[in-house]
Amino acid sequence: MIHALVLPLVLVDLFTTLYQRVCFPVYGIGRVRRDDYVIIDRHLLSYLNLLEKLDCVYCGYAREVASWTEQYFCPIKHAVMAAGAHERTARFVDYGVAEGFRREAGSAAQGVVQDLRQGRWIAPA
């Protein structure tokens, strides 16, 4: 179910890229580098299974739109932090630390559930 937004996100990215390339030069605005905000690296971790790797690629791409989803399904910090990383990353498991991954990831996922039950929309850092 979390993959329902894959096609819409790809379309948004396509139109945002076209918008930047066509309109930004007209107004003298520099391009926003996607690599500063979208980091896809967690699929390289050997201790993740194939589905977890696919989820991590999806969440790495859609992190601003789906920070709740990322905390629930793929709570692993990136090797390099992106500019403007959301506050939820404070609860994520460190990149490359396999020991205790399942336990800590489960705890981060439960944090989403608890935040929603308590009406908190942004998890405390």
Whether the pLDDT of residue 124 is over 70: the answer is: no
User: Number of C-alpha atoms within 13 angstroms, CB side, residue 77?
Assistant: 17
pLDDT digits (tens, 9 = 90+) for 20-33: 888 878 877 767 67
Ramachandran assignment for 39, one of left (phi > 0), alpha (psi -120 to 50 degrees), beta (any other): beta
Whether the pLDDT of residue 121 is over 70: the answer is: no
Whether the pLDDT of residue 37 is over 70: the answer is: no
- DSSP single-letter state for residue 98: -
The answer to whether residues 85 and 36 touch, using CB atoms and an 8 Å cutoff, is: no
Whether the pLDDT of residue 122 is over 50: the answer is: no
Residue 73: pLDDT band by 50, 70, 90 thresholds? confident
Highest mean pLDDT of the ranges 43-47, 58-62, 89-93: 43-47
User: What pTM was estimated for this model as a whole?
Assistant: 0.51
